[in-house]
A = this chain, B = another copy of it.
């Protein structure tokens, strides 16, 4: 019998995290460990940490902070007692001076004593709640990536961090749009309610059919696009701020935590 890092009572989240750590899974985490909170990750040198923390607080819909490590410690015990941010994501983007320099499946060799990790809420949590409530999500039905767009809306600048808000888009009938707003508003720590619906040009999106990430959306007659603040925003902002060093997840390759989405439902 093979020895695994987790006990025989391991949760689905622990089992998948062990698979990822062992290099057995380097794909997107969509749909894995249903019910468990997945998170965006940002790793920065400590001398950028306080500024980034303040930026997150000032832009909480795009950057809802879930947990923060202490400098040099790769653990985030509040999200999983054995969690290791150097090894537990399927794919990392590594940035030097604001430009991506490599993509990795393990960043142990790059780890430094001055690095701080930030975990931010992710829309997978509210997507699970939408599906549970019977609200269909087109890109998931079609096995595609969610469409995201860089808007014309400035984030609240903090120190060296500034840039435009990135949004994700999901389209619904009016009745399902209302349900989607109701449901996502109850997850304020994972982006919450949308920031806009309807005319994309109102938020500086010139052409809804050409997202920055994701393929062409499939918006049908009678459907309305809804736009949520997106956890890709920090990556966009980091490209502007140009910290000497930074690591994030690759889009869709999230940190799977031991916490339940339900714990992040308000009221």
Interface on A for B, CB 8 Å cutoff? 174-175, 177-179, 181-182, 185-186, 193-199, 202, 222, 224, 266-267
Counting every copy of the chain, the complex holds 2
Contact check, A193 vs B178: say whether CB atoms are below 8 A apart: yes
Contact assessment for A195 and B181 in the assembled complex, using a CB-CB cutoff below 8 Å: no
State in angstroms the CA–CA spacing of A181 and B175 once bound together.
Answer: 11
Q: Is the CB of B178 within 8 A of A195?
A: yes
User: Is A174's CB under 8 angstroms from B186's CB?
Assistant: no
> Would you give 5 A-B contacts (Cβ < 8 Å), ordered by A?
A174-B196, A177-B197, A181-B185, A198-B198, A198-B224
Closest CB of chain B to A152's CB: distance in Å? 15
Chain B hits for A177, CB < 8 A:
197
Among B182, B199, B222, which residue has its beta carbon within 8 angstroms of that of A185? B182
Known pairs A182-B181, A182-B185; A174 contacts B193 (CB<8 A): no
Interchain CB contact (< 8 A) of A178 among B197, B202, B267? B197
Give the CA-CA distance A81 to B182 in the complex, in Å: 35
Contact assessment for B222 and A196 in the assembled complex, using a CB-CB cutoff below 8 Å? no
Nearest Cβ in chain B — how far from A172, in angstroms? 11
- List 12 additional A-B contacts (Cβ < 8 Å) besides A177-B197, A181-B193, A202-B222: A174-B197, A175-B195, A178-B193, A178-B196, A179-B193, A181-B182, A182-B182, A182-B193, A198-B224, A199-B222, A266-B267, A267-B267
Report which of B199, B224, B267 forms a contact with A186, defined as CB distance below 8 A.
Answer: B267
- Docked Cα-Cα span, A202 to B176, in Å, equals 14
| Chain B residue at minimum C-beta to C-beta distance from A183 | B185
Complexed CA–CA distance, A244 and B197 (Å): 48
Nearest CB of chain B from residue A68's CB, rounded to whole Å: 28
8 tightest A-B contacts by CB?
A267-B267, A182-B185, A181-B181, A174-B196, A174-B198, A182-B193, A174-B197, A178-B193
